Amino acid sequence: LSPFTSFTNFSQSFHSNNTQQRRAGAMASARRSRSTEREEPSAMEGRKRKALESGRDAPAGKSPRTGGAYIPPFKLAKMMKEVGSDKQSESYQRLAWDALRKSINGLVNKVNKRNLKEILPELIGENLERGKGLFVRSVMKSQVASPAFTSVYAALVAVINTKFPEIGDLLVSRLILQFRRAYKRNDKPICTAACKFIAHLVNQQVEHELLALEILALLLEKPSDDSVELAVGFVKEVGATLLEVSPKGLHSVFEGFRGILHEGAIHKRVQFVIEGLFAVRKTNFEDFPAVPDELDLVEQDDQITHDLSLEDKLDARSGLDIFAVDPKYEETEREYQRVKREILGESSDESESGESDGEEEEEEEEGSSTKKAAVAMCVHTGSFSDYEEIPGVSHFLEHMLFMGSEDFPNENEYDSYLSKNGGMSNAYTDTECTNYYFDVQPKGLRGALMRFAGFFNSPLCKKDAVDREVQAVESEFVQALQNNAARLSQLRCHTATEGHVFRKFSWGNFRSLIEQPTQKGHVPRDLLLKYHKSAYSAERMSLVVLGAEDLATLERWVRELFSAVPCGLGPPVSFSGQGKPYEGGWVYALPMTREGHELHVLFQLPCLHRHYESKPDDYISHLIGHEGEGSLLSVLKQKGLVTHVSAGVAHEGYDRSTIGYMFNVTFVLTEKGLRFGRDGFGVVEYLFAYINLVRAAGPQRWIWDEISAASKMRFKFAAEDEAADYVQELAVNLRLYKTEHALEGDYLHATWDPELVQRTLGLLVPKNMRVEVQSSSFEGRAFEREEPWFRVPYSARRLTDEESEALARFTDAPGLSLPPRNKFLPTDFGIRTQDLAPGERSWLDKASAFGCPTPEALLCPPLLVSSSQDTEAWYKHDRFFRTPKLALLCSFEPDDARSTAERCVLLKLATRVLEDSLVETTYLADVADLSTHVYSNGDRLELRLEGFSHKLPTLLTEVLGGMASLEPDGERFEACRETLRRALKNSIFKPSRHAAYLRLLSLQLESWPLENQLEALEGLTAEKCRDFVRGLLSSSRRQVLIHGNATTEEAKSMVAEARSKFSAGPPRGAVVKRLALLKPGQRFVHSALAQNPQEKNSASEVYFQVGEENDSDYAALSLLEQLVYEPFFDQLRTKEQLGYSVSCGVRNTFGVLGFCFSVVSAKVSPPEIEERVESFLEQFVETVRGMAEEEWRQNVKSAVEAKHQQDQTLGEEAERHWGQLSSGRYEFFQQLEIAERISSTTKEAFLAWFGRHISAKSDERRALRVRVFGRESEGRGEDQGSYSAGDLMNFREEVAALERKTEPAREGEHPKC
Catalytic residue IDs: 398, 469
* Alpha-carbon span 499 to 496, nearest angstrom: 8
Which SS3 state, helix, strand or coil, does residue 1284 take? strand
| d(C-alpha 1268, C-alpha 1279), whole Å | 14
Q: 1213 in helix, strand or coil?
A: helix
What CA dihedral angle connects 899, 901, 904 and 908, to 10 degrees? -170
Distance, in Å, from the CA atom of 831 to the CA atom of 829, rounded to the nearest integer, reads: 7
> How far apart are alpha carbons 723 and 23 in whole angstroms?
10
**Residue spans of alpha helices (H) in 405-457:** 413-420, 445-457
Indicate the burial class of 520 (C-beta count within 10 angstroms; 0-12, 13-18, 19 or more): exposed
β-strand 1083-1089 against 1283-1284: which pairing, if any?
parallel
CA 910: distance to chain centroid? Answer: 30
Residue 422's identity, in one-letter code, is G
3-state secondary structure of 378: strand
* Secondary structure (3-state) at 532: helix
Which stretches within 1077-1188 are classed as H helix?
A: 1111-1129, 1166-1185
Provide the 10 A C-beta neighbour count for residue 79: 16
Alpha helix segments (H runs only) across 615-670: 616-624, 632-638
Show the CA angle centred on residue 1121, arms to residues 1115 and 1126, nearest 5°. Answer: 155
- The tally of CA atoms less than 13 A away on the side-chain side of residue 38 is 19
**876/878 Cα distance (integer angstroms):** 6
Task: State the Cα–Cα distance between residues 1153 and 1112, nearest whole angstrom.
Answer: 11
Cα–Cα distance list, 237 to 147, 198, 422, 851 (Å) = 12, 9, 32, 22
Pairing mode of beta strands 1141-1149, 1152-1161: antiparallel
- Give SS3 for 849: coil
Alpha-carbon distance of 1007 to 848, in angstroms, equals 41
d(CA 177, CA 181): 6
Residues 6+ apart with CB under 8 A from 252: none
Using CA atoms, how far apart are residues 515 and 789, in angstroms rounded to an integer? 14
E-strand ranges in 658-706 read 661-669
Burial category of 262 from C-beta neighbours within 10 Å (exposed 0-12, middle 13-18, buried 19 and up): exposed
Nearest to 1270 by CA among 591, 592, 505, 475: 475
Q: Distance between alpha carbon 742 and the CA centroid of its chain, in Å?
A: 22
How many Cβ atoms from other residues are within 10 Å of residue 1006's Cβ? 15
d(CA 528, CA 397): 7
Q: Do residues 972 and 916 make contact, with C-beta atoms less than 8 angstroms apart?
A: yes
Residue type, 699: P
Q: Confirm if 463 and 525 have CB atoms less than 8 A apart.
A: yes
3-state secondary structure of 1292: helix
Q: DSSP state, 1135? A: I
Q: What is residue 204's DSSP assignment? A: T
SS3 1277: coil
